């Protein structure tokens, strides 16, 4: 009987014992700090794309990975303090996007690995030592903005041969040697070859949009090129409404610009790069040093055309450009 009782107790112990799983204990989950330049209620497309990238790799937030979020709410001056807060949490990796946030990380995050979801001018601004050998604690994804903008000019002129004066809308306060701050001098040769005059126009807040468009018209602009950045992306509808009102055909960055109403869009898709950047985070969590992870450059570029906008402007897009489009919105 004693032997039977012992067997029963052992069997009962097996039944009530907690199940053993391969999931990491909650206290040992990897931790990723997230520095988002935009607002919490309406973040840029890069953040949800990064979250999807983690899910694609098998991470489940709250179960196999913890994410700590800090939102700058479109206030650049808040980024350093928020970066410092994330450092105090001692995460395994800090993820962010935009060149502005990357510059803040370069100054304030010295030991924790940093992955930059989508940015540009990383080498020119000294954020990494070189694209092939980043060195230090930062690596990420590069949009190849200057190359893209030169190609945008070429496609713009081919699609709408009548344009001659292109306003280029940029945000102020970018670093002096950044691509956007060197416009139009860094594209002068390409513009001259195409017979185009470039006019730099700055707008750093929504209330500056009306003034910016008035300056374009006064300067004789007959077309508009918008640099691809999260600020313009968040206020895209308003910008495109103003462009249409002033009868300005538009060339913009990623696919979301054309879908919102830009006549043309050409470039890498920022959220796509942010999704891919989850792979860099995964490699670091598995032991690779960021110094050994080359910056990955965009390699897929999309040309999208919005024929609804063309019709509204009374334009006919050159057939050679239509033929090359990845997406035509009718």
DSSP string, 235-269: THHHHHHHHHHTT--EEESSHHHHHHT-SEEEE--
The model's pTM: 0.83
Interacting residues of 203 by C-beta distance below 8 A, sequence separation 6+: 169, 170, 171, 172, 209, 211, 212
For residues 178 and 194, state if they share a domain: yes
Structure tokens, 100: 């502005």
In percent, how much of the chain has pLDDT > 90? 75
Does 4 fall in a domain?
Answer: no
210 Cβ neighbours under 8 A, 6+ residues apart? 242
Asked whether residue 1 is assigned to any structural domain, the reply reads no
Question: Within a 13 Å sphere around the CA of 127, how many CA atoms are in the beta-carbon half?
Answer: 31
Dist. CA 67–CA 3, nearest whole Å? 51
Length of the chain: 330
Summarised one tens digit per residue, pLDDT across range 136-175 is: 999 999 999 999 999 999 999 999 999 999 999 998 877 7
pLDDT digits (tens, 9 = 90+) for 268-327: 988 999 999 999 999 999 999 999 999 999 999 999 999 999 999 999 998 989 999 999
Q: What is the radius of gyration, based on Cα positions, of the chain? A: 24
Average pLDDT over residues 234-241: 93
In a domain, 8, yes or no: no
Number of domains in the chain: 2
Mean pLDDT of the 42-52 span:
89
| pLDDT reported for residue 2 | 42
Residues 238 and 202 in one domain: yes
Q: Examine residue 7 and state whether it is found in any structural domain, yes or no.
A: no
User: pLDDT at residue 17 above 80?
Assistant: no
Phi-psi map region of 247: left, alpha, beta (phi>0 left; psi -120 to 50 alpha): left
Same structural domain for residues 155 and 235?
yes
Return the pLDDT at 26: 43
The CATH number for 66's domain is: 3.40.50.2300
Instruction: Tell which residue, 62, 70, 104, 64, has the closest CA to residue 89.
Output: 70
Q: Is residue 68 part of a domain?
A: yes
How do residues 285-299 score in pLDDT, each as one tens digit?
999 999 999 999 999
Whether residue 13 lies inside any domain: the answer is: no
Q: Is it the case that residue 132 has pLDDT exceeding 90?
A: yes
Q: 239 pLDDT exceeds 70?
A: yes
Domain that holds residue 284: 22-144+270-297
| Gap between the Cα atoms of 318 and 315, Å rounded | 9
Residues 280 and 262 in one domain: no
Nearest in space to 67 (alpha carbons), one of 31, 93, 26: 31
My answer on whether 173 and 232 are in the same domain is yes
DSSP assignment, residue 185? G
282 and 212 in a common domain: no
For residue 168, count other CB atoms closer than 10 A to its CB.
Answer: 25
> If you average pLDDT over every residue of the chain, what do you get?
89
Strand boundaries in 134-195, DSSP class E:
138-142, 165-170
Q: Among 180, 296, 163, which Cα is nearest to 228's?
A: 180
Domain co-membership, 46 together with 180 = no
pLDDT tens track for 199-215: 999 998 999 999 999 99
- The pLDDT, as a whole number, for residue 223 is 98
Specify the pLDDT at position 27. 56
The DSSP bridge partners found for residue 200 are 168
Distance of CA 306 to the CA centre of its chain: 22
């Amino acid at each position: 009987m004693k032997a039977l009782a012992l067997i029963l107790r052992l069997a009962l112990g097996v039944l009530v014992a907690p199940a053993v799983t391969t999931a990491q204990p909650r206290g040992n989950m990897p931790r990723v700090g997230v520095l988002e330049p935009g607002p919490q209620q309406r973040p840029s497309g890069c953040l949800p794309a990064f979250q999807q990238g983690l899910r694609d790799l098998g991470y489940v937030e709250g179960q196999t990975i913890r994410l700590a979020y800090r939102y700058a709410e479109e206030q650049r001056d808040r980024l350093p303090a928020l970066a410092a807060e994330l450092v105090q949490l001692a995460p395994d990796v800090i993820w962010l996007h935009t060149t502005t946030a990357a510059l803040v990380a370069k100054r304030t995050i010295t030991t924790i690995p940093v992955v930059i979801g989508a940015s540009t001018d990383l080498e020119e601004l000294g954020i990494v030592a070189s694209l092939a050998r980043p060195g230090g604690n930062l690596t990420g994804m590069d949009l190849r903005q200057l190359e893209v903008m030169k190609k945008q000019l070429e496609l713009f002129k081919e699609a709408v041969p009548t344009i001659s004066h292109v306003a280029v809308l940029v945000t102020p306060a970018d670093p002096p040697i950044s691509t956007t701050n060197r416009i139009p001098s860094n594209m002068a040769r390409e513009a001259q070859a195409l017979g185009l005059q470039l006019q730099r126009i700055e707008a750093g807040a929504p209330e500056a949009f009306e003034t910016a468009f008035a300056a374009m018209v006064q300067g004789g602009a007959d077309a508009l090129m918008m640099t691809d950045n999260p600020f313009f992306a968040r206020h895209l509808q308003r910008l495109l409404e103003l462009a249409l009102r002033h009868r300005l055909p538009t060339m913009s960055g990623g696919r979301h610009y054309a879908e919102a109403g830009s006549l043309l869009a050409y470039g890498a898709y920022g959220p796509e790069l942010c999704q891919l950047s989850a792979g860099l985070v995964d490699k670091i969590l598995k032991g690779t040093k960021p110094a050994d992870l080359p910056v990955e450059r965009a390699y897929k570029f999309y040309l999208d055309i919005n024929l609804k906008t063309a019709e509204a402007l009374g334009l006919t897009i050159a057939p050679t450009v239509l033929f090359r489009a990845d997406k035509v919105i009718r």
